[in-house]
């Protein structure tokens, strides 16, 4: 939780404590302020409706943004990235990735899974071998560049779970001399299920590696640039064609999203064993996610600001009109001995009550509308860089979103009531004749 959110919640808690104090020790004031809301029902209800409209807008848009963040995060993590990655310490310092592989992957995997502090958090651990080359379809006389991943077939079901299988089968049901291709690459090659394809690479020793393999599956991730060059191949086959027993990286998928804590423990494990490895989490590996998150967060903040200003204006205007219409009443109360602080408290309580009713109503209506929307979803166009749209929903399980929906109306209503309340306390008997 951010510092700004903590501050806002603290202010709201103080406001609620003030209301509780008034209810317990100034019950007449609290009752009088609450009943005054119903003296001018149309104005009070229109103000509360404006607050609810703003609160519901924040709740629904915030839930939509939260879902967008969540689906983008899951797509990022489960498109062959995982929560955490392990690399050779020189991996990012050289353009020749074949010279910065992780040696003795089986031993590393065993050591990590045998460490109880790490193993308890791990859902899937898998090595991957990255390589590039040229793939050809002999019968159609077509060739294309590819970017391949040698993956362990069973872990790939989780780490590549957002890859949609179009034709054939995934890696878990194919032999060592069979491959799967991205939809764009298959289209470029004019390759179909059961076709034989020739793969040519430069192996880790600098020589040529070649292998003929049968196409057994075509998949689509929705990311066009990825689908246009992607090839997946069993890890042992990839190691055979590249002439190595090593891997480019080790991916770890966690049971729970406690990436920061696990990353710290894994880094300590590597330091204790003096391994020439580095650890990165999924955010560090996905610049695109960071850019999109920053953009959407900025838009969301701007919307919250606009809604907050509208609510403040509506309440401030309503309270000012209330004071004008009740000038005679206020001056009469002042004349019989009501102190300015007492008047301020009454009008401030009215504003707070409006804010509380608006906040609770916003949350209730927001949940009701979200439930209806989530029955059908919202058809969305493809995101930037993607080739297919998706169905969006309203995510309502965010504690921060629920707090914002409650906190913002109360803060706005209280803030908008301060100046009118102070103005009411300064009225004197002569002011009664200005509006007669």
CA distance 428 to 338: 11
Between 97 and 357, the more confident residue is 357
Judge contact between 217 and 180, C-beta under 8 A: yes
Q: What is the pLDDT of residues 108-156, one digit of tens each?
A: 999 999 999 999 999 889 899 999 999 998 888 889 999 998 888 887 7
pLDDT(201) > 80:
yes
**What distance in Å separates the CA atoms of residue 267 and residue 84, rounded to the nearest whole number?**
11
Q: State percent of the chain over pLDDT 90.
A: 22
DSSP state, residue 138: T
pLDDT digits (tens, 9 = 90+) for 348-365: 888 889 889 989 999 999
Sign of CA dihedral 129, 130, 136, 142: positive
pTM: 0.74
pLDDT digits (tens, 9 = 90+) for 383-402: 655 666 678 899 998 888 88
What's the distance, CA 73 to chain centroid?
A: 7
Spatial separation of the C-alpha atoms in residues 132 and 144, rounded to whole Å: 11
Nearest alpha-carbon partner for 91 in 324, 360, 279 = 279
Give Cα separations from 305 to 75, 175, 188, 298, 308 (angstroms).
30, 57, 48, 11, 5
pLDDT tens by residue, 298-341: 777 787 778 767 767 776 676 667 666 666 767 776 677 778 78
């Amino acid at each position: 939780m951010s510092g700004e959110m903590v501050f806002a919640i603290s202010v709201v808690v103080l406001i609620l404590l003030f209301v509780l104090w008034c209810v317990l020790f100034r019950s007449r004031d609290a009752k009088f302020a609450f009943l005054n809301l119903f003296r001018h029902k149309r104005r009070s209800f229109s103000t509360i409706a404006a607050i609810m409209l703003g609160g519901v807008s924040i709740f629904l848009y915030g839930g939509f943004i939260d879902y967008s963040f969540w689906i983008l995060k899951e797509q990022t993590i489960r498109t062959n990235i995982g929560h955490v990655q392990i690399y050779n310490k020189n991996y990012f310092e050289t353009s020749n990735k074949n010279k910065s592989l992780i040696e003795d992957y089986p031993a590393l995997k065993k050591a990590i899974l045998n460490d109880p502090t790490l193993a308890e958090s791990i859902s899937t651990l898998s090595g991957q071998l990255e390589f590039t080359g040229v793939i050809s379809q002999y019968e159609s006389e077509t060739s294309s560049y590819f970017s391949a991943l040698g993956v362990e077939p069973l872990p790939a079901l989780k780490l590549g779970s957002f890859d949609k299988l179009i034709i054939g089968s995934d890696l878990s049901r194919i032999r060592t001399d069979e491959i799967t291709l991205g939809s764009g690459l298959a289209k470029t090659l004019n390759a179909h299920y059961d076709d034989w394809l020739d793969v040519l690479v430069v192996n880790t020793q600098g020589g040529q590696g070649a292998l003929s393999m049968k196409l057994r599956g075509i998949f689509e991730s929705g990311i066009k640039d990825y689908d246009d060059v992607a090839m997946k191949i069993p890890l042992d086959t990839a190691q055979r064609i590249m002439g190595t027993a090593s891997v480019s990286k080790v991916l770890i998928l966690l049971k729970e999203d406690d990436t920061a804590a696990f990353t710290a423990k894994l880094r300590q494990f590597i330091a204790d064993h003096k391994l020439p490895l580095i650890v990165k989490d999924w955010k560090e590996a996905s610049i695109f996610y960071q850019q999109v998150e920053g953009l959407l967060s900025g838009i969301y903040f701007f919307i919250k600001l606009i809604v907050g200003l509208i609510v403040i204006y509506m309440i401030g205007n309503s309270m000012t009109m209330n004071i004008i219409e009740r000038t005679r009443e206020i001056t009469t109360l002042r004349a019989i001995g009501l102190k300015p602080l007492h008047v301020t408290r009454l009008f401030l309580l009215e504003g707070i009550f409006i804010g509380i009713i608006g906040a609770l109503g916003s949350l209730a209506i927001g949940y009701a509308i979200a439930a209806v929307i989530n029955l059908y979803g919202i058809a969305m166009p493809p995101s930037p860089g993607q080739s297919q749209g998706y169905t969006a929903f309203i995510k309502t399980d965010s504690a921060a979103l629920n707090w914002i929906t409650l906190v913002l109306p109360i803060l706005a209503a209280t803030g908008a009531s301060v100046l009118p309340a102070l103005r009411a306390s300064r009225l004197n008997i002569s002011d009664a004749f200005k509006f007669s």
